[in-house]
Chain A
Amino acid sequence: DTGVSQNPRHKITKRGQNVTFRCDPISEHNRLYWYRQTLGQGPEFLTYFQNEAQLEKSRLLSDRFSAERPKGSFSTLEIQRTEQGDSAMYLCASSLRLSGEQYFGPGTRLTVT
């Protein structure tokens, strides 16, 4: 039983560069969530999908953030023109629809220099 996977695990980038992270959910999980976690805090909800439909994006931190799930399987989170404040752990989770518990991936740690 394969869990949620995320790539890359670590990303170091210079301010102003674009970055893209990938999340592969547990197969058959139709819900996929993105969260951000900063040091000493709990994860903060960013956006989520049901199959290929993005159900909410108002919590994305700015218009520099965007996410896709083109075929209802893997998802990508892109940050354009990165800023130092974007440095954080970006977590992906998946679940079966509705009240199913969310299973988290190992995260992508972003460092913006």
Chain B
Amino acid sequence: AQKVTQAQTEISVVEKEDVTLDCVYETRDTTYYLFWYKQPPSGELVFLIRRNSFDEQNEISGRYSWNFQKSTSSFNFTITASQVVDSAVYFCALSWDDYKLSFGAGTTVTVRA
């Protein structure tokens, strides 16, 4: 069975601090995709990244970076130099069985000015 665990329920930081969100997953599939989505207070889920299980290269996009380690079944997300606009709920997700998504419970990030 597919499972995504985001152990951190809430994280609060001061602006300009770095914040790392943990994501651990379980799957029996050999090919799968991992995703991160952002859900700001407005409520609409915003796609951030998709990673293929065969591609373990880390990725950086602006202030965002992702660390995928297949050996530990983790796909962690770091926001560098956080800003107030980064305040949101962040979800890690795993595709299964024809690309349906299984989401973690989310981590609420609050960035204080």
Q: How far is the CB of B109 from chain A (nearest CB, A)?
A: 15
Residues from chain A with a CB closer than 8 A to the CB of B47 are: 101-104
Stretch at the interface among A14-22, A41-49, A72-80: A41-49
Residues from chain B with a CB closer than 8 A to the CB of A25 are: none
CB contact under 8 A between A99 and B50, given known A42-B93, A43-B45, A104-B44:
yes
Query: Is A55 interfacial (CB-CB < 8 Å)?
Result: yes
Stretch at the interface among B14-22, B66-74, B99-107: B99-107
Q: Is the beta-carbon distance between A43 and B44 smaller than 8 angstroms?
A: no
Interface size, chain B (Cβ < 8 Å): 24
Indicate which residue in B33, B45, B50 contacts A104 across the interface (CB closer than 8 Å): B45
Size bin of chain A's contact surface: 20 to 34
| B102: nearest chain-A partner, CB-CB | A45
Indicate which residue in A45, A56, A105 contacts B101 across the interface (CB closer than 8 Å): A45
CB contact under 8 A between A101 and B102, given known A106-B43, A106-B44, A107-B43:
no
Q: Is the beta-carbon distance between A33 and B35 smaller than 8 angstroms?
A: no
Interface centre among A42, A89, A91 (most CB of B within 10 A): A42
Indicate which residue in A45, A89, A98 contacts B100 across the interface (CB closer than 8 Å): A45
Q: Is the beta-carbon distance between B105 and A101 smaller than 8 angstroms?
A: no
